[in-house]
Structures are given as C-alpha cells and as structure tokens.
C-alpha cells in the first residue's frame, strides 16, 4: 500500500493484514527505509459502524480508542458471553453520540459473535479471551468484515495457523485487519526502527525484552458459577484461555525484538515457575533465551509478582544499546 | 551529372533502408506467427507430440472441463509464464521434441513415467500455475487446504504446486479415493497362527483374515558382505568387505503386500491425530489415515505396500509378532544381503554385468541397454516398469525370494552409517551384526521400479531420507506413519529362529 494514498478504509491498517499479527508481520527489508507518514486521525468519509465482540475492560477500551480515531465512527452492536459484562460496557458507552447501540444489536451467548457479524456492521472489534480469536476472526473474514483484534491472536499452533489462513483470505478480499500489537503502529517505534535499519547503530547483535510487573487481577470463584464461567471470568489466569503470560502480555516485547532483528527465533530455552498466583494454572514468572538462525539472541524476562523490580521495555544491542 | 551522382547513393540508401524494414517486418511477423502457431494446441498435438492420450486426458481434466468454460491450453502450463525464460524454454523443449519425433518410436516411450512427479517437474512451470492461481486462499478453501497452502508459502523453493496437484492437467484414471478402512470385526476365530515347529518353509496366515504369506527358511552360514574394490559402479560405503556369519532365520518370500498391510491397518489403524485416544507412544497405536492414495492409484492387493515410514514398518512387525506369537522384525542389513546374494559373490545373483544394463551411460542410452536376464528378476527403471508390480511379474532368486533387488527398495533394521563395515573385525567373521547403535537414518537396500540397474547390485546400499521424504507433508508435526514424497520403498519381514526349549 502506498503510504500517501491513505483512504478511509485502509487507514485502519497501515500495517494492514500483515497484522494478522505477530505471527505474520515480518520486516526484513535490506533497502534504505523511507520515513513513514503518520496521520493524526482517520480521514473523514461515510459512517463506519463497528461491533464489539467481548465486552470486558479491554473491549470497552478498544471501542473508546476506535471512536477517538477519527470522525464519523460509530459503535452499533455488542456481543458477550455474559449479560452483566455486556450491560456494564453499554452503560459506559451511554451518552456518547457515536454509540448507536439498541436492544436489538446486543447479543449474549457463545454464538453472540455470529449474530453480531450478521447485524450490519462494517468493522468487527475482537476482544474476547484469546482462545476464541481464531474462530471469531475466521467468521468475520468469511463475512468480509474489516477487523481490529486484540493481541494475542491465538494461544496454540493450531489457532495460529487458522489466523494465518484467515489473514491470507482477508488479504485476497482486500479487508483491513489490524492486531493490537500497538508498538508496530507507534510513531516512536517505527521511527527508531527506520533509523536502525538505516544503520544508526550498526547491526543488531542481541536484544532484551521485559514485562515484569506486579500481580495481575483474578476473580475468586462464586458458588453459582459453572467451571466454564469461573474460568472465563478469570481468564488471565488460565493457559487454555490466555495462552499464558508470554503469549498474553509479553508478546508485545518479544514481537518488537523479532521485528527489529528481522527474523523469528529458531530455538527457545527457558524456565518459569509459580510462586504467588492465587487462581488458575499459569506460571507467574519466566525467563527465556531465544536464539535466531544468525546467532543473535533475545533474552526475555517476564513476571507478575508484587514487590519486585519492574520494567516493561525492549532493548536492542549493538556495541552499546538503545532503549526503545 | 554531379547532381545525379549525388542522388543515386542517397536513393540507394533509402531503398536499402525501406527494403530492410520491410524484410525485418516480415521476419519478425513470420517469427511471431511461427511462435504463435507452434504454441497452439493443434500444433502440439498433431505435429510434434505423438501422444493422443495426453490430449484425451487433458480434455478430461479440470483444466479443460471447467465450470466457467475457460480452457487452459498446452503451453499455459508447459511453458513458463513469460519473460526471456519463455523463449529459452521453448527453444529447449522444442529441440527436445524435434529430436524425439525424429529419433524415437512414440510407442516405446514410457508415457506413464513422463507423468510422474519427477519428470512432470521438468516441463511444467510453477510460474505458469501461479499466473492464473494468484489467490492461494480462495473463499472455498478447506481447512486442510489452508494448512497445506500455508506450508507451501513457507517452503516455496522446495515444494511445488504439482507435488499435491499432479493430476489437474491430465486426468489420471484412478479409482475413487478408497481409504484403508478401520474395521473392528476382522477377527475370525477360524484362523489361527500357523504352528511353527521345526525349521522349514511355512505359510503364515494372518489371524482374523484369510490373508497368507510365505516364509522361506534360510540356513545359517558365513558370507562375504560388501563389494570388492574392483566391482564396477561400486560406492565407497559398500566396503570394506567383511566375513559375516549368520544364524538361520526365516525371511518373507515377497515384500509385504498391501493385502497384508490392510489386515494390520484394519486392526491397528488409528482414527487420526486429533482423536483423543491417539498416542504415538502407545504400543497399540497404529497408522493414522493416509493423506491421499498411498498406493498412488496403482492398485493394492498383491502389490507391495509403499509410502509407509520406517516407523510404520517397525510397528507392523511388532503387531505381526503379537498376533502370531512369533518373533518378526525387519531384516538386518547383513541378513538382507545374505538373502539377496543367495551364496553368490557377483554383482547380481545371476551372471551379468551392470555396465550392460545401465542407462547411466551415453552408449547405452543411444544404442539401447541390455535387459535380459535382469528384467526377468526385477522390476526396475530400464525394464519397462513405471510402477510397483505384483510378485508374479518376476522370477525368484536362488533362495526362492522374489524381487529382492527390484520393485521397491526395502527397509532394514540397521541405522545407516557409510563406514559401518569398517567397524566389524577384519580377521574373523562377525556374528549376526546389527550395525551402529544409533544414527539418523536407516538402511534401505535393493533397487526399485525407479532405480537404474547399477542400484540393483546386491551390495548397493541406500538410506532413508526422512526430511526429503516428508517435504510435501504440510502437517505440523509431520506424519510419523506415512511419507509424502517417497513411493518406492517397502519392506519384507524376517523371523528369528528360537530353538525349542
């Protein structure tokens, strides 16, 4: 896509379909990288109607980000497995002129995403726990809808391949798809990337990635909840739903290192454990050494335990280093 | 005067230029017309290629009989999509065709072999496939198709469109894809394993079926393994020669046939990797359903079972042992060579010189290679066989074994190591050797219907090539049961002799 020729629909994705995410976006151009043009807002045009699948905190936030992105953007439909989650989101959007949600465009249940996709929206925002993403993305692409989807886009190789295949179909349909690996779309990162690719610090020989933070939220199980409900409401603590800490959060930082190095690791060796987590089956710290074909390494550290040293950042190393 | 002399050369020049332009135009036009005409289906069919069946199978194919009525013509697949390559390839293939028409008898050309993946790849162009099929992920693509195309994108330089879509341009008469079916009711108490008393030839009946196969009792003995330095076409891994002593053992008279494999598959086949009961570690798990037709559409029955992995073959032997109560396994490399040689020490187990049979020599290619008696004993590349054959196609060797050297290459128990023999003692005979303790690939012995005569020599060694033989398999992880890219390897079983207690 020509960066200067940004139309309203493809604005959604300067990185467009490559954003089937972390899994697809490989950048390893040897040529001099031209400065990237940024827009401060989406260009004006006819109304674009969005529907949200997954009405939790991030979903509601994603809708607010979407509405802020430019003029004539509307949120018209909501879908969630739980009525209370949907109601909470609807209340938070109430009073916004861009919110055109009616009772008829609110869908509850495991198949709510299908009804939402068929309700006349132009863009689908996917923000459920990641386990469901491949299924939802496939359905949205089959219905030829533009998609914004939160990261991570899958929790296992089968899901990742499903996302990649749907991404290829989206490309064939000329749909705009953006994943929530936002560093790929941030001015500071892109400009730094261009400088480094143009030789600012020479060749990258190593990288470091951190997502070390305090304890994450969790929900204690209520008596009346089924196993499924208890896990869904507590999803950031269950591997099958979230993909675990590396996939769910730390993917941002590892993705940046892959992007700057221009390759994917061929080997990963690491360890992790569980010390303080209250619910679920996930670990709460990991340390992984990623090795790339050319001998470059990325050292990755992530943790969700209170009272420790914290950092969420990435570094690429030449002789010195450059914090991104 | 001066005027006239001045003008004449000028006029001449002008005349020359005009004539040149006209001639040039005619030449270019004629050349273009020639290129266009020699690229038509009619030209391909009538004047050059004397293969009416190719036209007939093309008309039956999905590239002719299309829903939209769009016909894909000969050169759209059989010449590159464009660029200078179009002309260089046209010249190359054109020269080949002219030579063929002038010097060869179309009836003697092995058209079936021309349709094999290896040969088709030399006159079918990837750029032509993707010129039309620019969208790899069409709306109607299945899940299986998506996975395969994702894999193709990653492996573009190694995997070609025709690896999976070989018969799209020319229809292959194939039975509708019959998968080997898993049945639970094949056990029949009427059939019991054959009693194994004494050391004689016997016929094994597969329990739960009426399928039988013959086992030949081979007396123990000492033989020279490997080939002498003086043997023509010898490879370094065939030596140094060693004395090998073997205990008596039984060996299958034929390669394991599809009908035997089918009993195994029916009893041990697993529903698939996605089934919850599936476990590669479990000793009761057998092959998953194959991807496509494992018999290549050549038919099953008495043809040798092919495309199963070395692991599959090993599991087959374990199953066979468990249902018969006898000790079946793959032959060791030494047992295989002993059985193949049948006490001979010559390149073949019959008098004959590989140099006469090989097509790996310019002289033989031009003036023809000798076939007899090799073709009586083996299905091989020069013997007019482009596929596996049933055992009755050839005569047995002196030990009464069928197709040791031809038909399909055969798995052995040993790990492959080029210098394996050097590690055996040189002064005394080594007893029942089993090769190196570990390795990457296994030994494969004998030639196949695809092999040249030089690879049919008793001492010729070969090995599995796991990565290459699974190149097209788009699954992740790849199958442990079936090779996607190897259709000429099978196996035979041996049974160890256990003296009565």
Which residue is closest to A174 within chain B, CA to CA? B135
Contact predicate B207/B193, CB 8 Å: yes
Contact of B137 with chain A, judged by CB distance below 8 Å, is answered with yes
Per-residue b or e along B131-145, where b marks 16 or more CB atoms closer than 10 Å to that residue's CB? eeeeebbeeebeeeb
Task: Determine the pLDDT at residue A26.
Answer: 38
Contact of B475 with chain A, judged by CB distance below 8 Å, is answered with no
* Choice between B463 and B169, residue whose per-residue pLDDT is larger: B463
**Cβ-based contacts of A264 with chain B (< 8 Å):** none
Rounded Cα distance between B85 and B77, Å, is: 14
pLDDT in tens, A16-69: 333 333 333 334 445 566 777 777 888 889 999 999 999 999 999 999 999 999
Rounded Cα distance between B484 and B470, Å, is: 5
In this structure, the strands spanning B430-431 and B242-246 are parallel
DSSP sequence for B272-295: -TTSTT--SS-TT--PPPPSS-TT
| pLDDT exceeds 90 at position A140 | yes
E-strand spans in A90-224?
106-108, 123-126, 146-149, 177-179, 206-213
Among the partner-chain residues A142, A164, A172, the one whose CB lies closest to the CB of B150 is: A164
Identity of the highest mean pLDDT range in A104-113, B64-73, B82-91: A104-113
**Cβ-based contacts of A169 with chain B (< 8 Å):** 137-139, 141
Least Cα separation, residue A161 to chain B (angstroms): 7
Nearest alpha carbon to residue B381 among B454, B455, B450, B456: B450
pTM of the predicted structure, to 2 decimals: 0.73
Nearest alpha carbon to residue B78 among B38, B121, B30, B133: B121
Collapsing DSSP to helix, strand or coil, B116 comes out as coil
Task: Determine the pLDDT at residue B194.
Answer: 53
Among the partner-chain residues B137, B147, B153, the one whose CB lies closest to the CB of A172 is: B137
Find the DSSP H helices in A20-56: none
The pLDDT confidence band at residue A72, using thresholds 50, 70 and 90, is: very high
Helix H, strand E, coil C: the string for A212-277 is EECCCCCCCCCCCCCHHHHHHHCHHHCHHHHCHHHHHHHHHHHHHHHHHHCCCCCEEEEEEECCCC
Least Cα separation, residue A88 to chain B (angstroms): 37
Task: Determine the pLDDT at residue A21.
Answer: 34
Among the partner-chain residues A161, A164, A172, the one whose CB lies closest to the CB of B135 is: A172
A 10 A CB-CB count for B279 gives 12
CB < 8 Å & 24+ apart, contacts of B181-187: B181/B266, B182/B265, B182/B266, B182/B269, B182/B270, B182/B271, B183/B266, B186/B263, B186/B266, B186/B267, B187/B267
Task: Determine the pLDDT at residue A122.
Answer: 97
Q: Which of A172, A174, A177 to mutate to test the interface with B (most CBs of B within 10 A)?
A: A172
Task: Determine the pLDDT at residue B501.
Answer: 67
Least Cα separation, residue A173 to chain B (angstroms): 9
Which residue is closest to A158 within chain B, CA to CA? B476
CA distances from B117 to A111, B162, B267 (A): 45, 7, 32
**Cβ-based contacts of A161 with chain B (< 8 Å):** 146-147, 150, 476
The size of the A-B interface in CB pairs under 8 A is 31
Mean pLDDT of A159-186: 93
Nearest alpha carbon to residue B412 among B460, B462, B367: B462
**Cβ-based contacts of A171 with chain B (< 8 Å):** 137
Least Cα separation, residue B146 to chain A (angstroms): 6
- Give the list of residues 6+ apart from residue A253 with CB closer than 8 angstroms, or none: A209, A210, A211, A300, A302, A312, A313, A314
Rounded Cα distance between B292 and B444, Å, is: 24
Among the partner-chain residues B137, B138, B476, the one whose CB lies closest to the CB of A157 is: B476
Rounded Cα distance between A16 and A4, Å, is: 14
pLDDT in tens, B339-381: 999 999 999 999 999 999 998 888 888 888 888 899 999 999 8
Mean pLDDT of B400-407: 95
Least Cα separation, residue B319 to chain A (angstroms): 32
Among the partner-chain residues B137, B147, B153, the one whose CB lies closest to the CB of A169 is: B137
Rounded Cα distance between B240 and B230, Å, is: 12
Among the partner-chain residues B136, B143, B476, the one whose CB lies closest to the CB of A168 is: B136
Task: Determine the pLDDT at residue A7.
Answer: 44
Task: Determine the pLDDT at residue B173.
Answer: 66
Interchain CB distance below 8 Å, B476 and A168: no
- How many percent of chain B have pLDDT more than 70? 92
Interchain CB distance below 8 Å, B147 and A169: no
pLDDT in tens, B216-262: 999 999 999 999 999 999 999 998 999 999 999 999 999 999 999 99
Which residue is closest to B146 within chain A, CA to CA? A165
**Cβ-based contacts of A157 with chain B (< 8 Å):** 476
Which residue is closest to B150 within chain A, CA to CA? A165
Mean pLDDT of A187-215: 91
Rounded Cα distance between A179 and A164, Å, is: 12
Task: Determine the pLDDT at residue B189.
Answer: 40
pLDDT in tens, B110-154: 777 788 888 888 899 998 999 999 889 988 888 888 888 999 988
Least Cα separation, residue B415 to chain A (angstroms): 27
| pLDDT exceeds 90 at position A203 | no
Collapsing DSSP to helix, strand or coil, B316 comes out as helix
| pLDDT exceeds 80 at position A142 | yes
**Omega into B152 within 30° of 0, i.e. cis?**
no
Mean pLDDT of B74-91: 88
- How many percent of chain B have pLDDT more than 90? 48
Interchain CB distance below 8 Å, B149 and A168: yes
**Omega into A152 within 30° of 0, i.e. cis?**
yes
B212 strand-pairing partners:
B205
Contact predicate B380/B422, CB 8 Å: no
**Cβ-based contacts of B133 with chain A (< 8 Å):** none
**Cβ-based contacts of B153 with chain A (< 8 Å):** 168
Contact of B130 with chain A, judged by CB distance below 8 Å, is answered with no
| pLDDT exceeds 90 at position B410 | yes
Which residue is closest to B474 within chain A, CA to CA? A161
Rounded Cα distance between B294 and B248, Å, is: 34
Rounded Cα distance between B319 and B235, Å, is: 36
**Cβ-based contacts of B152 with chain A (< 8 Å):** none
Torsion angle of C-alpha atoms B234, B237, B242, B246, degrees rounded to 10: -100
Mean pLDDT of B312-331: 95
pLDDT in tens, A224-278: 999 999 999 999 999 999 999 999 999 999 999 999 999 999 999 999 999 999 9
**Cβ-based contacts of A24 with chain B (< 8 Å):** none
Mean pLDDT of A162-168: 95
Q: What residues of A are in the B interface, CB distance below 8 Å?
A: 142, 157, 161-162, 164-165, 168-169, 171-172
Task: Determine the pLDDT at residue B456.
Answer: 96
**Cβ-based contacts of B135 with chain A (< 8 Å):** 172
Among the partner-chain residues B139, B143, B476, the one whose CB lies closest to the CB of A169 is: B139
A209 strand-pairing partners:
A300, A314
**Cβ-based contacts of B476 with chain A (< 8 Å):** 157, 161
Rounded Cα distance between B399 and B250, Å, is: 11
Contact of B141 with chain A, judged by CB distance below 8 Å, is answered with yes
Mean pLDDT of B259-280: 85
| pLDDT exceeds 70 at position B90 | yes
Contact of B149 with chain A, judged by CB distance below 8 Å, is answered with yes
Mean pLDDT rounded to a whole number for chain A: 88
Interchain CB distance below 8 Å, A157 and B141: no
Task: Determine the pLDDT at residue B181.
Answer: 42
Task: Determine the pLDDT at residue B5.
Answer: 54
Least Cα separation, residue B487 to chain A (angstroms): 29
Mean pLDDT rounded to a whole number for chain B: 87
Task: Determine the pLDDT at residue B28.
Answer: 84
Task: Determine the pLDDT at residue B49.
Answer: 66
Among the partner-chain residues B135, B137, B476, the one whose CB lies closest to the CB of A165 is: B137
Least Cα separation, residue A118 to chain B (angstroms): 18
Nearest alpha carbon to residue B51 among B92, B103, B91, B109: B109
Q: Which of B133, B137, B144, B145 to mutate to test the interface with A (most CBs of A within 10 A)?
A: B137
Strand order of the β-sheet with A123-126 is A106-108, A73-80, A48-53, A123-126, A146-149, A177-179
Task: Determine the pLDDT at residue B251.
Answer: 96
pLDDT in tens, B31-60: 878 777 777 777 777 666 667 788 888 888
């Amino acid at each position: 896509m020509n960066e200067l020729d940004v139309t309203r629909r493809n604005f959604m994705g300067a990185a467009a379909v490559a954003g089937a995410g972390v899994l697809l976006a490989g950048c390893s151009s040897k040529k001099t990288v031209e400065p990237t043009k940024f827009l401060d807002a989406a260009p004006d045009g006819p109304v674009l109607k969005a529907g949200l699948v997954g009405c939790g905190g991030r979903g509601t936030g994603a809708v607010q980000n979407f509405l802020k992105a430019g003029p004539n953007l509307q949120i018209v439909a909501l879908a969630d497995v739980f009525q209370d989650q949907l109601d909470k989101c609807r209340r938070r959007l109430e009073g916004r002129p861009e919110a055109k949600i009616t009772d008829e465009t609110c869908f509850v249940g495991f198949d709510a995403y299908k009804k939402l996709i068929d309700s006349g929206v132009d863009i689908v925002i996917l923000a459920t726990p990641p386990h469901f993403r491949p299924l939802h993305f496939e359905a949205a692409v089959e219905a030829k809808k533009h998609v914004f989807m939160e990261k991570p886009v899958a929790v296992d190789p089968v899901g990742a391949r499903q996302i990649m295949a749907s991404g290829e179909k989206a490309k064939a349909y000329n749909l705009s798809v953006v994943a929530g690996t936002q560093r790929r779309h941030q001015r500071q990162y892109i400009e730094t990337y261009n400088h480094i690719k143009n030789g600012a610090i020479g060749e990258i020989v190593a990288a470091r990635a951190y997502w070390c933070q305090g304890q994450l939220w969790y929900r204690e199980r209520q008596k009346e909840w089924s196993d499924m409900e208890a896990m869904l409401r507590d999803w950031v603590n269950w591997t099958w739903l979230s993909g675990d800490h590396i996939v769910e959060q730390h993917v941002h930082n590892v993705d940046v290192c892959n992007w700057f190095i221009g390759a994917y690791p061929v080997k990963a060796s690491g360890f992790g454990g569980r010390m303080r987590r209250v619910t679920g089956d996930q670990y709460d710290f990991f340390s992984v050494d990623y090795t790339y074909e050319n001998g470059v390494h990325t050292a990755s550290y992530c943790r969700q335990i209170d009272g420790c040293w914290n950092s969420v950042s990435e570094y690429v190393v030449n002789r010195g280093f450059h914090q991104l | 005067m001066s005027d006239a002399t001045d003008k004449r050369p000028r006029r001449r020049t002008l005349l020359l230029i005009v004539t040149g332009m006209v001639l040039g135009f005619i030449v270019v036009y004629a050349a273009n017309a020639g290129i266009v005409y020699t690229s038509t289906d009619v030209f391909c069919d009538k004047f050059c290629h004397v293969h009416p069946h190719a036209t007939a199978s093309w008309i039956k194919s999905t590239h002719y009989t299309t829903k939209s009525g769009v016909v894909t013509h000969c050169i759209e697949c059989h010449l590159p999509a464009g660029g200078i390559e179009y002309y260089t390839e046209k010249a190359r293939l054109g020269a080949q065709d002219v030579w063929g028409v002038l010097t060869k008898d179309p009836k003697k050309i092995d058209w079936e072999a021309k349709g094999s993946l290896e040969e088709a790849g030399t006159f079918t162009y990837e750029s032509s496939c993707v010129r039309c099929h620019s969208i790899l992920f069409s709306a109607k693509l299945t899940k299986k198709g998506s996975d395969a195309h994702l894999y193709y994108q990653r492996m573009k330089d190694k995997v070609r469109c025709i690896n999976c879509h070989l018969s799209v341009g020319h229809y292959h008469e194939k039975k509708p894809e019959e998968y080997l079916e898993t049945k639970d009711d094949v056990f029949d108490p009427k059939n019991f394993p054959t009693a194994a008393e004494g050391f004689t030839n016997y016929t094994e009946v597969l329990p739960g079926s009426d399928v039988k196969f013959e086992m030949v009792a081979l007396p123990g003995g000492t033989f020279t393994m490997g080939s002498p330095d003086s043997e023509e076409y010898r490879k370094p891994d065939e030596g140094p020669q060693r004395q090998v002593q073997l205990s008596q053992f039984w060996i299958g008279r034929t390669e394991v046939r599809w009908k035997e494999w089918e009993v195994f598959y029916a009893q041990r086949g697993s529903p698939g990797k996605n089934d919850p009961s599936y476990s590669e570690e479990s000793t009761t798990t057998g092959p998953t359903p194959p991807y496509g037709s494992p018999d290549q559409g050549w038919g099953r029955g008495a043809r040798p079972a092919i495309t199963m992995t070395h692991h599959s073959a090993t599991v087959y032997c374990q199953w066979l042992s468990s249902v018969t109560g006898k000790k079946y396994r793959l032959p060791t490399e030494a047992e295989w060579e002993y059985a193949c040689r049948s006490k001979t020490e010559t390149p073949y187990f019959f008098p004959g010189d590989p140099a006469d049979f090989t097509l790996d020599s310019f002289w033989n290619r031009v003036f023809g290679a000798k076939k007899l008696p090799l073709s009586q004993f083996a299905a091989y590349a020069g013997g007019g066989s482009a596929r596996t054959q049933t055992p009755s196609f050839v005569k047995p060797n002196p030990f009464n074994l069928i197709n040791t050297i031809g038909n399909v290459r055969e798995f052995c128990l040993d790990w492959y190591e080029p210098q394996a023999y050097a590690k055996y003692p040189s002064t005394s005979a080594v007893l029942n050797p089993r090769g190196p303790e570990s390795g990457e690939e296994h030994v494969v012995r004998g030639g196949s219907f695809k092999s040249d005569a030089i690879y049919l020599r008793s001492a010729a060694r070969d090995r599995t090539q796991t990565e290459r033989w699974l190149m097209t398999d788009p699954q992740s992880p790849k199958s442990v049961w079936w090779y996607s890219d190897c259709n000429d390897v099978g196996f035979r079983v041996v049974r160890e002799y256990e003296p009565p207690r």
